[in-house]
Amino acid sequence: MILGQLMAAAVLIASGQDAPQTPPQTPDASRLEDVVVQGERLADRVETFVDDINSPPVNRGPARWRRDVCVGVANLKPDAAQIVADRVSEVAIRSGLEPGEPGCSPNILIVATDDGDAMARGLVERSPRAFRPEYSGAARSSEQLEAFLTSPAPVRWWHVSIPVARDTGEIAVRIPGYPPPYIQSANSRLRASTRNDLLRAFVIVDLNRAAGVSFQQLGDYVGMVAMAQIDPDSDTAGYDTVLNLFDAGRSVDGVTDWDISYLTALYGAELNRAAASQQAGEIASSMFRDQRRQQDDAF
């Protein structure tokens, strides 16, 4: 419901802007091989990558979508919107999730605009609690929200999550106006009694800044940042990832095996350790095992 209302708001905000004149195009840049430091251990590369890009709210472990996602796209022509939605849904499927049926209520809202700053600020001002709900650990900090509002990037994103009881799925955080939660779970210093579920994701695409990539590439990029809480300031230059799509001098066709390895690790890991850092370690361990299998299969 919240994202449906904001999708309508996005259309109204965009109506006050000049319509984007130039859709993304396939880049002409030649592909450059990734530079890999010889002798760097695979385990170290994986661990560093996971640590660099993983960015949940403070004191929270990584959040994930539960079972299915529903993608909504605003302010693109129908054929372009369908391409983007299909590519995002394909990334979700490859991550182990199910895409929503036609007509589903979106929990991933993708908004195209010719002025990313104005669109971001307009949506946040219209519904501030949709971005930072009144319970702890729902989203990143107010300083990071300001960075979202003023980001120079072609694509910016914002996730909202909620802690729930691991065994029952009941809300596990105090929400103003509601009784305090009661979590019945076996006490353990090692096993977490709660998990973090993603509630919604906002992705704003500034088409002027994103000029030079195809809608297929754009959809893959959005799929990556919508499925996981990716740090927008992470340095991924040394990795074969779609997150380098907008880096100067790089040519990225779309989501890579490395990306899917991360996402399948995120969604396949148990994430039942009590400490958030240990949960990130579980993702890294799972990704490492997958990468090692791929290396073994190549020989």
Q: How far apart are CA 48 and CA 31, in angstroms?
A: 24
Residue 24 lies in a domain: no
Residue 33 lies in a domain: no
**Phi, psi (deg, nearest 5) at residue 200:** -160, 160
Give strand ranges (E) for 170-227.
194-206
Closest CA to 108 of 65, 165, 48: 65
With beta carbons less than 8 A apart as the criterion, state whether 13 and 122 touch: yes
Residue 157 lies in a domain: yes
Retrieve residue 78's tokens.
């129908």
Instruction: Give the number of domains in the chain.
Output: 1
Residue 10 lies in a domain: yes
Per-residue pLDDT, 50: 98
Per-residue pLDDT, 183: 63
Q: How many CB atoms lie within 10 A of CB 229?
A: 24
Residue 112 lies in a domain: yes
Per DSSP, what are the bridge partners of residue 111?
74, 204
Q: Which domain holds residue 238?
A: 2-15+41-297
> pLDDT digits over 58-80, tens only?
989 999 999 899 999 999 999 99
**Which amino acid, 92?**
A
Residue 216 lies in a domain: yes
DSSP state of 30: P
Per-residue pLDDT, 113: 98
Residue 27 lies in a domain: no
Low-confidence residues in the chain, pLDDT < 50:
19-22, 26-39
